[in-house]
Structure 1
Amino acid sequence: NASGGMVGSYVGDDGTYTPYLRAADGRYVSFSLPTKETYEFFYVHGQTDTKISVARGKVVGEVPRTYVGSFLGGLHELKVPGSVSTEGYNINQDGSVVGHYDSPDGRRHGFIAKLGTEEVSTAFSNAYTVKLSKGLNMLSVPLAPSTPMNAKNLVALTGATTVITLDAAKQHFIAWTPGAPDDGFPVEGGKGYIVNVPETRNFAFVGAPWTNTPMIRGDRGVTDEAAAAAPAITPMIRAGNANKAFIPLIYRGVAQDAWAFVVSGHLKGKPTFDGYTITVRNLRTNNTITTPVQGDYFAAATADLTRRSVVKLGDIVEIRVIGPDGNFESQTLRFEVTPENIANAVLSVRLDGIGKPNQNLLLQNYPNPFNPETWIPYQLSEDTPVSISIYDTTGRLVRTLSLGFQSAGFYNSRSRAAYWDGRNALGERVASGIYFYQLTTPAFQQTRRLVILK
């Protein structure tokens, strides 16, 4: 520490570990082990300037344990409530201990434990073990953690592939996946969350009773059923028995469907995607979700809180990228739902080349038939001069729309597509009937048909 003191431990001739302090003046002072049992090892890892030390030891036949304290006051065990074992390796000058702990399901978690008053420590020392079944679970958080929890924290604690909640104000689901650029939405008491875990999970929530919501209590405090209860959010009820439990379709050990699902991914091709949105449509059910892009990331979530299937193995999901002006900025992309997607409740995609078509294309005008005006969408794979010519059925040129030099991109919204007011080169309205429109560049030409109906 700052005064020149050094801490450690040594092993005597009889194999016994003894912790010690070497003072700045060279004196060695030893202190007692926390218990009189035989230790396989005992290491003192550090000491603060205020002479608070952290140590780690293992009694023969037991799990490793962590101890915090001083030479005068003695060392006392530090344990994350609900953990199988807790091992601290470092202590910071503010007295916070850094290490890891093992949860009952065998996973290892990092932690930072801040030393506090006995009153605060007691308040946040409640621990309640929760068991989540493999797959999708509804979950509410039974205890308030010492620091605010968010979606990223909940995924780390549960080992989930995703977490979903309902935005009650907007009445749509929002999701967080590990690919997100931020920590996600806050996790609060009295609210419900859907988590998907790849294996059965057995872990503990640690904290104090919530003060912003009534708790469900049993004979021994907050029950596992309270923690894993259905969310306190408005179900989107469909016809049928709302209380019927979801029984996943299983064929040869592979789940065939899911009652909650997330399509997430990253966009590439532009410096920024401010104001962009993503639409996701299941071609089988025609269910469509629209979600904003954050940075270059998006997550579109859907769920049925009556636990009826929203996606099945083999479903085709269609994704479109929409710019701030409503212009489609990508080809229509399609992805098939795989067994891995069902197991994770997540379809993760990467959308490359946003705003950059891979081919020139003239698209169908809209509306069609029309009267008196229409818009003609197209896409360009390279920067080029563009014109669109209108012909009648005899091949006579009716009008040429000179669009000038255009950058590569998609031109399909009303603000970007070519516009024709239904008039000829003299400004006269043309007669009803069939006409042909032709897109021309120095390297490309394509023709389609349109109809004026008066």
Structure 2
Amino acid sequence: MHFSDRIPSNLEKLLIQNLSNSVSTPAVSKEGSFRIELLKGLNMMSIPVKTSTPITAKSLAQQLDATLVIRLDADNQEFVGYVPDHFEATNFDISGGMGVIVNLMAEKEVTFTGQVWDNVSAAPTAKPLDSSVWAFSVVFDRSLTSPNVPVLIQNMSLPHSQPYQTTTVTGSQKGMAIAVDQSQHSVVNVGDIIQVRMGNQRWRYRLSPQDLENAFAHLLLTEDLRLPNQTTLLQNYPNPFNPETWIPFHLAYDSQVNIEIFTIDGRRIRSMDLGIMPAGKYIDRQQSIHWNGRTDVGERVSSGIYYIRLWTDEVSAMRRMVILK
């Protein structure tokens, strides 16, 4: 017996009903095949038949070429995620009536064959909301940190954002954080800053278009991403210089940043309002502050000793520099 019905996959009904596991274990009936059309990006789906071989998050991800599979653990009311090649310790069985979220890199039509569930019916078609990323995962490698320190992960770019639900596996150096919006509104955007906090250490990562397409980001908590513990004005380079120089600094917290340059007798000749800047390390020429050796009115300054002052909401720091012509 063959069923030609196409089962819609992005369904709010499935999101509310099947993800909460409100469907009891279904009875099985006749043999049949069902085709499911899946869109590029995030989809909600459930398995319409009992297949001869049990389906797991790993086997489903392989069958769909999915980058992410998520289910809801109804007992703990927590989402459980599986990311091929990056976070596989949570591989789980997928049974009839269980709703799962999958992310695909391209449209795909897949056929499932097996014993048809008697009491699992297709929900009415529901149009997904644009291409919003309404489910997202962060996989982090904590090999350089203590495994006993609690992990807090948050999207710093969203106002009033709450920490993500975090999962760690005993004996593993990796962890996962998951955010899901059941109304299917975006939980992340390109350029958002994800912060990982463990004790007094913090790391920040800016999301790329590829991260959003994958519906997950893999963070290596290395020194490059670690935030400084204190705001520091570093020595400008080159120094001595002529005619321009770069002024690097560390910023411990998001803050208003201002730079002032003074002559040796204390006369201010240049001021720069950089606005509110996110915490981070501003070291290279693309990120540090550039000074072209001119005053606020555009006059070139003469050779001599000058002083730089960095102002933030919490810190004021000063360094000496030399122009040599």
1:284 aligns with one of 152, 157, 161: 157
1:158 aligns with one of 48, 64, 83: 64
The answer as to whether partners of 1:124 and 1:146 remain within 8 angstroms in 2 is no
The answer as to whether partners of 1:148 and 1:186 remain within 8 angstroms in 2 is yes
Deviations 1:361-395 (A, max 9, x none): 79xxxxxxxxxxxxxxxxxxxxxxxxxxxxxxxxx
For residues 301 and 359 of structure 1, what CA distance do their matches in structure 2 show? 26
The answer as to whether partners of 2:81 and 2:90 remain within 8 angstroms in 1 is no
How many pairs does the alignment contain? 200
Alignment TM-score, normalising by the size of structure 1? 0.39
CA distance change for structure 1 residues 148 and 174 in 2, over 3 Å: closer, same or farther? Answer: same
Q: 1:306 aligned to 2:183?
A: yes
For residues 105 and 81 of structure 2, what CA distance do their matches in structure 1 show? 17
For residues 75 and 124 of structure 2, what CA distance do their matches in structure 1 show? 22
For residues 127 and 36 of structure 2, what CA distance do their matches in structure 1 show? 23
For residues 49 and 127 of structure 2, what CA distance do their matches in structure 1 show? 29
Q: Helix, strand or coil: the match of 2:87? A: coil
The answer as to whether partners of 2:165 and 2:178 remain within 8 angstroms in 1 is no
The answer as to whether partners of 1:278 and 1:291 remain within 8 angstroms in 2 is yes
User: What's 2:81 paired with?
Assistant: 175
Q: 1:297 aligned to 2:202?
A: no
1:261 aligns with one of 128, 136, 141: 136
The answer as to whether partners of 1:141 and 1:190 remain within 8 angstroms in 2 is yes
- In the TM superposition, 1:42-53 aligns within 5 A as none
User: What's 2:213 paired with?
Assistant: 343
User: What's 2:119 paired with?
Assistant: 214
The answer as to whether partners of 2:137 and 2:177 remain within 8 angstroms in 1 is yes
CA distance change for structure 1 residues 268 and 144 in 2, over 3 Å: closer, same or farther? Answer: same
User: What's 2:286 paired with?
Assistant: none
For residues 124 and 177 of structure 2, what CA distance do their matches in structure 1 show? 24
- In the TM superposition, 1:1-150 aligns within 5 A as 126-150=32-56
CA distance change for structure 1 residues 287 and 280 in 2, over 3 Å: closer, same or farther? Answer: same
For residues 227 and 187 of structure 2, what CA distance do their matches in structure 1 show? 33
CA distance change for structure 1 residues 283 and 292 in 2, over 3 Å: closer, same or farther? Answer: same
For residues 141 and 30 of structure 2, what CA distance do their matches in structure 1 show? 38
The answer as to whether partners of 1:138 and 1:194 remain within 8 angstroms in 2 is yes
Alignment TM-score, normalising by the size of structure 2? 0.54
The answer as to whether partners of 1:281 and 1:319 remain within 8 angstroms in 2 is yes
CA distance change for structure 1 residues 181 and 193 in 2, over 3 Å: closer, same or farther? Answer: closer
User: What's 1:389 paired with?
Assistant: none
Q: Which amino acid aligns with 1:263?
A: V
CA distance change for structure 1 residues 153 and 338 in 2, over 3 Å: closer, same or farther? Answer: same
For residues 360 and 349 of structure 1, what CA distance do their matches in structure 2 show? 20
Deviations 1:257-304 (A, max 9, x none): 41111111322126x83x554321011222311413221121211111
Q: Helix, strand or coil: the match of 1:166? A: strand
CA distance change for structure 1 residues 152 and 197 in 2, over 3 Å: closer, same or farther? Answer: same
User: What's 2:196 paired with?
Assistant: 319
> Which stretch of the first structure deviates more once superposed, 155-164 or 199-208?
199-208
Q: Which amino acid aligns with 1:187?
A: I
Q: Which amino acid aligns with 2:209?
A: P
For residues 215 and 191 of structure 1, what CA distance do their matches in structure 2 show? 10
CA apart distance, 1:143: 1.2
User: What's 2:204 paired with?
Assistant: 334
Aligned identity (percent) is 30
Of the two, which has the highest radius of gyration?
Answer: 1
The answer as to whether partners of 1:264 and 1:347 remain within 8 angstroms in 2 is yes
For residues 166 and 195 of structure 2, what CA distance do their matches in structure 1 show? 14
CA apart distance, 1:154: 1.4
2:111 aligns with one of 182, 189, 204: 204
CA apart distance, 1:174: 2.0
User: What's 2:100 paired with?
Assistant: 193
CA apart distance, 1:206: 2.5
User: What's 1:247 paired with?
Assistant: 130
For residues 227 and 191 of structure 2, what CA distance do their matches in structure 1 show? 27
For residues 91 and 205 of structure 2, what CA distance do their matches in structure 1 show? 26
CA distance change for structure 1 residues 229 and 312 in 2, over 3 Å: closer, same or farther? Answer: farther
Q: Which amino acid aligns with 2:133?
A: A
- In the TM superposition, 1:216-231 aligns within 5 A as 216=121, 226=122
Deviations 1:420-447 (A, max 9, x none): xxxxxxxxxxxxxxxxxxxxxxxxxxxx
Which structure would you say has the larger RCO, counting Cα contacts within 8 Å and 6 or more residues apart? 2
Q: Helix, strand or coil: the match of 2:63? A: helix
For residues 142 and 30 of structure 2, what CA distance do their matches in structure 1 show? 41
The answer as to whether partners of 1:127 and 1:205 remain within 8 angstroms in 2 is yes
5+ residue gaps, structure 2: 4-28, 232-313, 315-325
For residues 63 and 124 of structure 2, what CA distance do their matches in structure 1 show? 17
For residues 63 and 30 of structure 2, what CA distance do their matches in structure 1 show? 17
For residues 358 and 309 of structure 1, what CA distance do their matches in structure 2 show? 27
For residues 61 and 96 of structure 2, what CA distance do their matches in structure 1 show? 16
For residues 202 and 183 of structure 1, what CA distance do their matches in structure 2 show? 26
